[in-house]
Structure 1
Amino acid sequence: MTMAPLLIFLFFLSSIDKATAQTQRSNITVGSSISTNSNSSYWASTTRLFAFGFYPIGDGFMVGIWIIGSSNNTIIWTAKRDDPPISSGTVLLSTDGRLLLSSGESDSPLIDASGIASYASMLDNGNFVLYNSDSSIIWQSFNFPTDTIVAGQRLEVNWTLLSHFSETNHSIGRFRIVMHTDGNLVSYPTATTNTSRDAYWHSGTWMGGSNASLNLDTDGRLYLLNSTGFNIKTLAENRTGTFIFRATMDVDGIFRLYSHQIENNGSVSEKSIVWQSLNLTDRCEIKGTCGPNSYCTMGDDIVPRCNCPEGFDFVDSQHMFRGCEENFIKQDCGRGTEGMTWAVAALENIYWEDDGYALVWVANEEGCKQACLDDCYCMAALFKDGRCSKQKLPLRYGNRTNFATTLIKVGRGGTVTDPTSSEVRKTKIGNEIFVAGLVLIICSFITLLSSCYLVYRRKVAVYGMIPEQSSTPAFIEEMNLRSFTHDQLASVTDNFKEELGRGSFGKVYKGFLPNGVSRTIAVKKIEKLAEEGEREFEAEMKTIGRTHHRNLVRLIGFCIEGSHRLLVYEYMSNGSLADFLFKAEAPPDWNDRVRIALDVARGIHYLHEECETHIIHCDIKPHNILMDECWIAKISDFGRHVEIEAAESEIILLDWVYNCFEHGKLDKLVGDEEVEKTMLERMQMDIGVFRSSVVMLVVPIPDTMLLMALQARLPMPVQQRPRRQRRRPLRFLQED
């Protein structure tokens, strides 16, 4: 019993000693410096386990942090890693609170701190820190990892570790590992997107929770933790003993946990692998091991080797993993390649990632070869079980397989010459002069022919003898619209990525036109290009293309290319009136409803009375009224085709609203909201066009009427529609 208080007291003292040891640091004051040309080339931690300063690499030096005493000074962090090594230099903590690197006549900031440093410290855990005058951290290396984290350090959400280029080159290499927001730790080749097609390893912890992090404890436990403190997954268990632990994205693309045992004399032992993300005998399975247009094979020494197919050479013979490029003149599908013949070489049991632009089914390998030869754009084909997938260059992730064959298109007969030689330059200049002269003659001849044709056309057209002959429909020439190619619209919409809405004949996508300042557009893609879809396209072009009004969505341009039919509209940033009425936090008040009703009425009045060709819309409803950035209502046709299930007496909202007016039940329309009843009565007395635009705005918002108001399709003017007309497929505008 008498020993218990003593033990507790000793444990308390031990805890204080540990806490003190963990926070000990040797302060680096302003004015301190280290240099490659002096004995003071680094700042060490108090335990002399870690150092910050200059380390040798090749014939020069770089600035970084390393484990002192380990073989080759194991590097855990590097500053300015993509800069070349310097032959000599100095790091200075200047009197104005900046950490500067001098490697010549000028000084440059080594890091970008968030304030003015009063002192710095190399901590015992491997973290180099800058502090301000309040002893608050303004920069620390733990927040900017390169290829490694050490014990006590985290890899936060969206942070990345990037491997070294090689063991002797510490610039950014071929592989990276990313901590995703969904709790999944994933490895990719460096120059790729964060998609599953490029991933080659993952922790299998997606859906593990938001804002997860990778953690490495001082006992060697490597684990994933979400924002609530829940341990998603343990990758490596804790160990007993005195070690320095580090987790590194290695040059070969494998993420490994290493331990370095601290000996009794303070030295550090060689590294030992505690855990690794992949245990592979075939390193070729790691995507990105070999670069574009090359394929990977394993040698007898179990080392991956990169190979070029026939007709290709290494981009860099010193670093073969950088990939291969053609050693023949590239095929020009516009003009062809003079003097060049084409053949297809087969690579048996070699397969690349299937990123084909066309797929054909053939009887055998010869059929696939011929299909590629017949297609100018085909530079390779992947053949497997009758499936022939045509590919463009570059090819990615080439590897061995026992089930497929790659067919590579090779140019023969042409020569690749050195463009720097004098003979080539002379020949090139002579050819350029000849081509320029020929082009000038051809242009002059074309100009003469065009002038003659225009004079002839003008004279004959007076008598109506020349019909319009153009691949573009004649009615489009009357409109001031911009013509787009399909590729242009695919580019500005990011390959039709973001869908805004859809109708019965197609979908609408968001895009951006780069005209100095990016302009947002909406692109309608007609997908059902049968007879009815073609009529829909022409109807919109003929009608809205001739209109120009503040309350009509403006048509900017079009695309007529092969089977492609697309329309380009101005983008309405505030969505539809349906969203404004039914999805906003608070419904619009009476004044907003009247203002929007007037906007719609002006647009309809223009269509019915002021437009050169009178137009009836046929489908006025909240979904087809769009709001621009100033909340101005404009008539359009981007809405969902929705059937209604209201009572028969209330299906035609126009009749229902007028019946409410006749029976003195206007309160039913507006619910509990206080409105100007005189204005409401005057609006309801007009059974024509103006009232048809107002009705959707005065429908009450209570739950009992919400569904009907949302789904209702307003009719044409009463005198032009049957009494109980059933809904028909969506149309935009039709002429009187």
Structure 2
Amino acid sequence: MQLDGNLVLYPLESEDSPITAYWSTKTFGMNLSLCLFLSATGLLELINNNDSSIYDTINRSFFPEPTYNDYNESSINNNNSTIFSASLDVDGNFRLYAYLFERNGGFQTYPLLSALLNSCKVKGFCGFNSYCTFNDNQPYCACLPGTDFFDPLQNNLGCKRNYSEAHCKGGKANIPFYNITSMQGIVWTTGRFYSKELLSKDACSRTCLEDCNCEAAQFENGICRKQKLPLRYLLRETDAQVNSTVLLKVRIISLEADNGTVPSELKSPKVLIKRKNTTVLILLLTFSLVACSYALLTISGVYIYKFRVLRYKRLLELGNLGLTEELTLTLFSYKELKRATNGFKEELGKGSFGAVYKGSLDRGRQLIAVKRLKKLVEEGEKEFQAEMRAIGRAHHKNLVRLLGYCLEDSKRLLVYEYMGNGSLADLLFKSTKPPDWDERTRIALDVARGILYLHGECETPIIHCDIKPQNILMDDLWRAKISDFGLAKLLMGDQTRTFTGVRGTRGYMAPEWQKNTPISVKADIYSYGIVLLETVFCRRNLDTNVSKPEEVILSSMVYRCLVEKELDKLMLGEEMDKRSLERMVTVALWCIQDEPALRPSIKTVVMILEGITDICISPCPTASFI
């Protein structure tokens, strides 16, 4: 459906222009925003999006071809058990169907209308250098002379030239090498012609035969149009009124056997050996060939051996430090990842530690996200290696999985599984239809379980340091997974707290980051509390676009409503379990307390969210945004 209100069919991988279109409703020029609608009575209607009025009804007048079935239209339309569907079928034709349900539980399908009765008129039905025709009323694709199918089992994929071009001199082709084959009744309307002249048919054939650039020509009504291969959108018509002729230049050797019809200058000269020592000459040639073969094999073996030795030495110089033995990760080369991401072309996001790019492995069957880091070398190679070991061993359904990495010179790249449904921030703050209550409670529990794994179930506890909706990604099953461990901090040995520089994102950072005090896992609890509030109410904790000043800070407003038993007023009529709502809000308010000791552990949070443990009302949190 185009912006001008015209419903048009175009072939795949072609420009949207009138010359490539093969069917349309011709409802353009009204400057209306239209959409296509199928009514319950089987009428295809064009609806004006501005006022929902019916602009036009697509009836038989839009389908120039007659219907191709014999059905009782009145009985279908008067039957309440009839449903309709309109679809763009795999052959490129747009059709309307009726499904009439029977008493025995089955149904019959009636094709009502078809945009094109002649399937060959669907541009793109056949591939390059092939034309569409019919055999027993069935459309099929045939190759032009001088070409063969790319795949004999899939004739619609097109054809390729079955000969090599002969050398040209001074812009003139070697005429004895070529011949002109003509085909009548070929409809060819979308060629990109480089030459157009008024010539006779014989003159058109002769000029194409002599022109190096001409591989095909169309002769119609005294006009000769020349073009190079490939040809596209060809259709063979049996209509006598079609007077178009296609002239194809093909190489003679590829078309004719050497039965005397091939010109003598094309035949290979016969070599006659008249000397008496023919046997000696043959032995010398054989020995020379064998010696050259042995020499080539020896050189190849030495080259392969040196290549593998150099590659092994290079791996040792990269400083892998045994990561591949400790981790179930793949070590990629920088060249592999550059090729997988098409030269780091499609950027998914960017942060303080680098950018993330979309890529694919295994010939496009596995999508990946490649994070190219830019500061890890400056902050310490040993710390990067330690974090790699910890994250590489971390496997949980609510953590984005690390698949591999690249350590090559100063280049540091991480390869993660691709998350196709965006981030939680997009889902909560940008989506036209936010997730319902059940989905939000499930997402909140998914994130809590992921943090629980990092804090208590890993061999080495990990403080993520940057829990926020932008770092919570949704997989294809809409399961929440924590990502971006670029700022994560490990707790070594028996550590429960550690000193480190300020890390995280403003608005989600715990107050202790600014107090120069040791950081513990409770910093992640504070960030999770903010994320939990935003997930429950589908708005940011700090929103300056609200109408009332007391609504700017979400946590303060929520606490007042919790004390006054008016939380349901913030849900704008959404249906939910009030006990579950109070439980989630209370947990969030405990998580964002200023004192880390007052915040619950993530294990307690999970048990409360699952309804296993009760919780009392929290003190009023201090509204601080770092």
Structure showing the higher helix proportion among its residues: 2
Q: State the TM-score, normalized to the length of structure 2.
A: 0.41
Structure showing the higher strand proportion among its residues: 1
